[in-house]
Structure 1
Amino acid sequence: MSTHSGSNERIKETHPEWYRDVSPMYYLILGSFPPHAKRWDYPFYYPNKINRFWKILAEIAKVNLTVPIVSEKEAVEERFSIMQKLNAGVQNLGKTILRKGTSALDTAIEITTFQDILLILKKHPELKKIVLPGYSSQNSTAKAFLKYINQTKEIEIIGFIPKTLNSGTTFKISVYGRIIDCVVLNSTSTASRISYDEVKKQFEKELDS
């Protein structure tokens, strides 16, 4: 499916079945949606090796990522093992989107349906924190998560969320009789002007607490 508006062609995409459960899961890291398939180096979350996400998580987990990527399957298993070591689940919020062309930017996508994040929250009563990297655009992870909350009846935001989100913004949600902390971080994309060391420091703080 696509809609045409001059040079702004919008193409429907459906998220691949990448989700793999981690148990125990103390942290859930959410993203928005993968880049266009032509940019993938392997079929898993943050599939472009230029993105800093897996390098940061590998350093926090004190493991070395294989370079270069020789086998897509091994690359996926290597990244899943990092998730297991950190007790951190990974999922994207978008299930279906409309994308302008093949852009990898959040500003070029519109989430039309969401993943079932509630199912993950229900399955993992031990979950204590949701990490939201990226907050600038309307379809960034943090803003998309707030839209998802507004569509559900089971999740309630506790307290006040500032109108302008920033790295370090925190809030709590109540769901299934539990309180879960949520924290907004900078994006791991290389398009971000925030340094690698600063983004790593942010993740390290949240995944160690």
Structure 2
Amino acid sequence: MDADNKPIEQHPLGFFLPANTHLLMLGSFPPPKARWSMNFYYPNIQNDMWRILGLLFHADKDYFLATKKTFSEEKAKNFCLKNGVGIGDTAMEVIRQKDNASDKFLEVVKPLNPEEILNRIPECKAIVVTGQKAMETLLSVLPEMEEPKVGTYTEFELSGRTLRLYRMPSSSRAYPKPLEEKAEVYRKMFTELGML
């Protein structure tokens, strides 16, 4: 607990890192468990990440739905394994200033160790972050570099490797862009990486 008696939350999910990971997707931190529709990343049914990926890879925004109110954990994990997508978050420990899913009220206590994670995925060529809080947290533990604008990337070196850091639009509905518009920005990245 901190001075305001807010508990420190440990990250509830380990990194999901297929052996063939080419792209590491990083968000900020999962929403409170009450908002989960599956026991995996981007579990909030109000979050559009799995709809974006369904649209791009299956031409069906509902591809990853198990029911109208839940995502399919099996389909999500199979997608990552098949396409070489690792997934995790930039914060390992946080204090939630308000009991909601908003990044605005997350205080990062402990960020990820990017070298430790990248050492586990030697084929990884790029990292993508999906929101401003995730970007700020990641930049705090990477070599100094220019922050990429939304829809673009910056190259950086870490542990003797050159990687791309992409900044994509947030998949949260709080980011007011139509699903199809967000998907087109993601399409460009996946195409550049030879994944689509």
TM range (shorter): 0.7 to 0.9
Q: TM-score under structure 2 normalisation? A: 0.86
Matched, 1:79 2:76: yes
8 A contact 1:41–1:49 mirrored in 2: yes
Which amino acid in the other structure matches residue 176 of structure 1? S
Q: TM-score under structure 1 normalisation? A: 0.81
Residue 154 of structure 2 is aligned with which of 152, 171, 178?
171
State the shift of 1:147 in Å. 0.9
**Which residue in the other structure is 1:25 paired with?**
21
Q: Deviation per CA, 1:168-204: give whole Å up to 9, x if none.
A: 3421111121100111111000011122112111111
Question: Matched residues, percent identical?
Answer: 25
Aligned-pair Cα RMSD in Å: 2.2
**Which residue in the other structure is 1:16 paired with?**
12
Taking the aligned partners of 2:152 and 2:94, their CA distance within structure 1 comes to 26
Secondary structure class of the residue paired with 2:34: helix
**Which residue in the other structure is 1:50 paired with?**
46
Residue 144 of structure 1 is aligned with which of 134, 137, 144?
137
**Which residue in the other structure is 1:152 paired with?**
none
Structure 2: any 5+ residue segments left out of the alignment? none
Structure 1: any 5+ residue segments left out of the alignment? 150-155
8 A contact 1:11–1:100 mirrored in 2: no
Residue 110 of structure 1 is aligned with which of 77, 98, 107?
107
**Which residue in the other structure is 1:186 paired with?**
169
Which amino acid in the other structure matches residue 23 of structure 1? A
**Which residue in the other structure is 1:161 paired with?**
146
Taking the aligned partners of 1:40 and 1:170, their CA distance within structure 2 comes to 30
* Cα separation, partners in 2 of 1:119 and 1:198, compared to 1, 3 Å: same
4+ residue segments displaced more than 4 Å: 69-72
